Amino acid sequence: MTPPPRPPAIPVRWRILALLFGFALLAYLQQKSITVAAERIMPTLHLSQVQIGWLEQAFVIGYTVFQMPGGIFGQRYGARWSFVFISLIAFVAMMALPLAPELVSAGNLFAVLFGSQLLLGVAQAAIFPLSAGVMSAWFPPRRWPFVQGIQTAGMQLGAAITPVLIAPLMLQIGWQSAIVWTTLPALALIAGWAWYARNSPRQHRGVGPAELAEIGSHSDGVAPEKLTAARIRQVFRNRNAVLLFLSYTCMNYVFYLIANWVFLYLVQERHLSVQESGWLAAGPPLGAAVGAAAGGIVAGYCCRRLGYRWGYRIVPLVAMPVAGILLLWVTHLNSAYIAVAALAVCYGTVELTEGSFWGCAMAVGGRDAMVVSGFMNTGGNLGGIIGIPIVAWLSQEHLWNTAFLLGLGFAIASAVCWLGIDAERPVFTDAAQASCSTSPETA
């Protein structure tokens, strides 16, 4: 009798998570490249800082509008090939940014750059709703905050290495070549995902009975055969989903303020060199990566001790007001280096909440986690749509402190919304969604 195959040293679900980590890292490397390269793009292409703000806005518009459509698309066609499709489109859009000045006349250049950033946003919109669906299928509910925190740490690591890579490369070989060479590794990740990933554990030949037992029976379910308009409208009417939407909108004003503008803030307001700002701008995303990973662990622990309702609430209720106070403190600091350290702690504090936001969206959504997560992240990126033009104008007028003060108000509003969010009440209460309300101790 042939002995059963030995289980892999690293369970398949953790390898799937590693690939999702890679997608998050490269997505943020792609997204944030323009925020660093802007220092050279502006004089080279004769663009104003407000125009750079519009290019960033183009990405956020596409990213925001296609969050729910991206989640619906992924839920209908499966995460495996959906990831391949959207990632190839993102690759093409990213390569258009450095190639456009060589191929397009000056009169049409800004429109093409705007279009490339819009397409990048459309393509990347589905990444995190798709990831939520993958995690809900591949991990038991008690692990959801943790794995969400790990993936969020990946995106912040990508944001952290962006200035470290782009700033010195654009000084040595120009901003266009810097973006080309940092975009090419995406092809290897896309190929690896297409070869190894599957939509669910039972579809993967490497997943044995022991790992299936660890993941739990909730992964046996599949998405509804037909995602009707009535089912989607129910998401829009659900109190938990709406409050997650509003809270994530407010949180992401602070997120985008630090994520998109810290490099120019150091150059313009703190008067540091491009090289020095490139290195120092890596500090806040590194703080955010640590915060995201830690927040997933803390939220998971709180869920086990307090139940899902207060377990998911407690971190945002504490972290967001603290982050707002830290923003206010930055405006009173004379030292640029202490200000960078304070921004790193502030960003890390904001990102403590990611595990709570996404884990709660997965619990509220159940088998429709991609749709509910996409709805929540639509709100999150609405915070960028609101915040980017505000910060672009205020920074151009040298009113950085006002931009930071607004962050305090948005942070407090984000926390207040959590008083009405109850992760133990899913959007859909049919029997197939029973895993949403499973107690943390038995999940």
- What's the one-letter identity of residue 236? F
Name the residue with tokens 């859009």. Answer: 93
pLDDT value, residue 132: 87
Name the residue with tokens 């890390």. Answer: 348
CB 408 within 8 A of CB 324: yes
pLDDT value, residue 419: 96
Distance CA(32)–CA(94), nearest Å, equals 11
pLDDT value, residue 219: 54
pLDDT value, residue 430: 53
- Positions in the chain short of pLDDT 70: 1-7, 217-227, 263, 271, 274-275, 278, 429-443
pLDDT value, residue 186: 94
CB 233 within 8 A of CB 403: no
pLDDT value, residue 51: 84
pLDDT in tens, 265-296: 777 777 677 667 767 777 888 888 899 999 99
The number of beta carbons lying within 10 Å of the beta carbon of residue 314 is: 18
Distance CA(361)–CA(376), nearest Å, equals 7
pTM: predicted TM-score of the whole model, two decimal places: 0.78
pLDDT value, residue 21: 94
Distance CA(17)–CA(190), nearest Å, equals 14
pLDDT value, residue 431: 35
pLDDT value, residue 441: 44
Residue-range domains of the chain with CATH: 12-216+227-437 (1.20.1250.20)
Cα-based angle 131, 132, 134 (whole degrees, multiple of 5): 60
pLDDT value, residue 218: 60
* Residue among 49, 409, 40 nearest 265 (CA): 49
pLDDT value, residue 320: 97
pLDDT in tens, 173-183: 988 899 999 99
Burial of residue 419 (CB within 10 Å: 0-12, 13-18, 19+) is: exposed
Distance CA(178)–CA(56), nearest Å, equals 18
pLDDT value, residue 434: 41
Contacts of 397 (CB under 8 A, 6+ apart): none
Buried b (16+ CB within 10 A) or exposed e, 270-302: bebebeebbbbbbbbbbbbbbbbbbbbebbbeb
pLDDT value, residue 385: 79
The number of beta carbons lying within 10 Å of the beta carbon of residue 229 is: 7
